Amino acid sequence: MLETCTSCGTVFEIDKALLSKNIQWLKCSVCKQKWSISKESFKDFDKEVTVSKDNKSNDQSEQVKKDLASIKSVVEKKTKKLSVQKTSALDQKNKTVNQIASELSASKLKSNDKVNTKPLKKSKIKKAYFLYLLIFLIIFSIFVIFFRSSILAYTYFYFPKYANFYSEKINLISSKIRSPLLAELHYINLIDFVATAKNGQIKFSGIITNGSVRPILVPRIKILAIREDRKIMLEKILVLDQKIIKPKSMIKFQNGLSFKSNNENVSVKATLLKEIFDF
């Protein structure tokens, strides 16, 4: 920038970099004259300063952009590397987790199969026991019903007190199922039966023998008084006090009955009954 002294006309070249708004006047080195800087020179100075500042700011912004771009590229590279490492690590972890999960599921399935097979086996065993028990009870019931007379005879033979105690219950059960006890008449004989009828009274006696080697229930005896014209004057079922006839033994009985008679001839007969309804 050129400046001319107003007094001596000397022209000076001034460096614009040294100027600022704080410098209000200039001094001539020849005549020592002072003068103020013109407004136009200040305007040019301001323009140059603003241009230089703009250039500097533009340069700085571009530099900042370049720095940011370089930083961004570095960060992206590092993030890519980290993401690749993380994904590989995650894949490895996922693989290991999947393997562990599959192993655990397989072990759980095996344990569940074992646990499930155990209750199945237990349930099968329980069902088998229940079936066997049911079959045993059915067979035992059939056996008891079929051999009820022999079982009761042996009970009276070995345990007479218990048999007498439960006799009422036995009678109740037999009446409900309508299945009477049966006397084994093929082992029993009625011998020496004697009866007399006089004045409306019948007196009779006899012997019942057991030819078997085991005890047998005493049968009921049916007494019939019959006239000559085959009319039945008396029909009575005789129940003896004895419950069983011991093996290879006999029992004697003697009793009397009364009936209406007009001094007619009456014959008395005795018959052993197989069925025993009230024991």
Q: pLDDT, tens digit, for every residue of 95-134? A: 565 676 676 667 666 665 555 555 667 777 888 888 999 9
Write down the residue that tokens 């003896």 correspond to: 240
pLDDT of residue 83: 66
pLDDT of residue 139: 93
Per-residue pLDDT of the chain (279 residues; tens, 9 = 90+): 667 777 787 776 766 656 665 666 677 877 877 766 665 555 555 666 565 566 566 667 777 777 777 787 777 777 777 666 656 555 555 556 567 667 666 766 666 555 555 566 777 788 888 899 999 999 988 888 888 888 888 888 998 888 888 777 877 777 777 778 888 888 999 999 998 888 778 899 999 999 999 999 999 999 998 888 888 888 899 888 888 999 999 999 998 888 777 767 888 899 999 888 776
Give Cα 118 to chain centroid, integer Å. 13
Is residue 254 within 8 A of residue 202, CB to CB? The reply is no
Q: What is the DSSP letter of 222?
A: E
Fold classified for 158-276: Coagulation Factor XIII; Chain A, domain 1 (2.70.50)
Overall size of the chain counted in residues = 279
Written as six digits, the tokens of 195 are 């009866």
Is residue 185 within 8 A of residue 244, CB to CB? The reply is no
Amino acid identity of residue 266, one-letter, is V
Residues 6+ apart with CB under 8 A from 192: 205, 206, 207
pLDDT of residue 94: 57
Write down the residue that tokens 């007969």 correspond to: 269
Every domain of the chain with CATH number 2.70.50 lies at 158-276
pLDDT of residue 42: 56
pLDDT of residue 230: 85
pLDDT of residue 47: 62
| 222 vs 204: CA distance, rounded Å | 12
pLDDT of residue 44: 59
- Helix, strand, coil % (nearest 5) of the chain? 50, 25, 25
| 126 vs 132: CA distance, rounded Å | 10
SS3 111: helix
pLDDT of residue 95: 53
pLDDT of residue 67: 77
pLDDT of residue 193: 92
Residue 92 burial (C-beta neighbours within 10 Å; 0-12, 13-18, 19+): exposed
**pTM for this predicted structure:** 0.50
